[in-house]
Structure 1
Amino acid sequence: MTPAVNQAKKAGVTYQIHEYSHDAQQSSYGEEAAEKLGIATARVFKTLVVQLDSGGLAVGIVPVSGMLNLKQLAKAAGAKKAAMADAKDVERATGYVLGGVSPLGQKKRLPTFIDASAEGFDTIFVSAGRRGLEIELAAGVLARLTNGRFASLAQGAG
């Protein structure tokens, strides 16, 4: 299993693993997960890593049906600006490849912010650490495992 699944297992939290056959031609990983698992895109959350102007990295978790509002994430993280992090920096800090970045089990624990819409669902889906593998758990559990905070981060979700 992946470090993400191992972290959930070790924490003794309630979660469920969902596996599907990843299409290598697909570049919208979250939408592919929603489609193949038959769930609404608003319940599938993507894990995005940003570079803060203060020099550090942070994680924004938003529904795949929307986009990350970089200004809102910067504000939540106490920075002035945020930009999408370089792919190599993301992979080095998290230990995951793009499209399979999980908020759980990262090599380096990064400040994590979860879109507040997650609190409206009994459970949400996030990457379990590789393409084609999702972990379903309660948003509050995800926040606890990542030391994450809820904030309004998504734009255009729906």
Structure 2
Amino acid sequence: MAKHKEEKTNVMRILDQKKIPYTARFYEEGEGPEGTREYGVHVAQALGQDPARGFKTLVARGASKGIYVFEVPVAETLDLKKAARAVGEKSIQLLHVSEINAVTGYIRGGCSPVGMKKAYPTVFHETVTDYDTVYISAGKIGAQVELAPGPVLELLGAETADLIVKEG
């Protein structure tokens, strides 16, 4: 399986083109219950990462039919009301899995905020700026990029907001 470690993803090519430094991180595909919070935590642990520094990409449609991208820590749950407020919508709903590829160009589990088919409004959970580096998908299952949050926020024109469900 070493060969996929050499392959650059579209995300990596975009970051190279924009001169945004990153470190590629790879993990074995199919480890853990994919598509769940436990999967994201499992991937973080497999890579020796703090799950709070790993961000998952969630894509939603607003009441106005606009598409939005939300990045939240892998162990957390997106609060749909907070997300809607963050983008000025009455409400939002996560896209159905069957729509992910058509809207983003990525498959479920390998969706990255970098390099989508179109530039959608993107909001990261506010904790993204608490870290020197964070992890986001490199655009395919089995690959992530570690990078400083500032340059990726700037590249995407992304905002930050409180987006997660508070436990308790």
The farther-off stretch of 121-130 and 20-29 is 20-29
Deviations along 1:78-117, whole A, 9 cap, x unmatched?
1010111122322112111000000101111111000001
SS at match of 2:101: helix
SS at match of 2:42: helix
Which one of 123, 126, 129 corresponds to residue 119 of structure 1? 129
RMSD: 1.4
User: CA–CA distance in 2 between the matches of 1:26 and 1:115?
Assistant: 23
User: CA–CA distance in 2 between the matches of 1:23 and 1:98?
Assistant: 12
Q: What residue ranges of structure 1 are gaps of 5+ in the alignment?
A: none
- Structure 2 vs 1, CA of residues 25 and 14 (structure 1 numbering), >3 Å: closer, same or farther? closer
1:23 aligns with 2:33: no
Aligned partners of 2:62 and 2:68 also within 8 Å? yes
Q: What residue ranges of structure 2 are gaps of 5+ in the alignment?
A: 1-7
Q: 1:1-158 alignment to 2 at 5 Å?
A: 1-23=8-30, 26-27=33-34, 28=36, 29-156=39-166
Aligned partners of 1:119 and 1:139 also within 8 Å? yes
Amino acid at match of 2:137: S
User: CA–CA distance in 2 between the matches of 1:23 and 1:89?
Assistant: 21
More strand by share: 1
Larger of the two Rg values belongs to structure: 2
TM superposition score normalised by structure 2? 0.88
Aligned residue pairs total 157
User: CA–CA distance in 1 between the matches of 2:151 and 2:43?
Assistant: 21
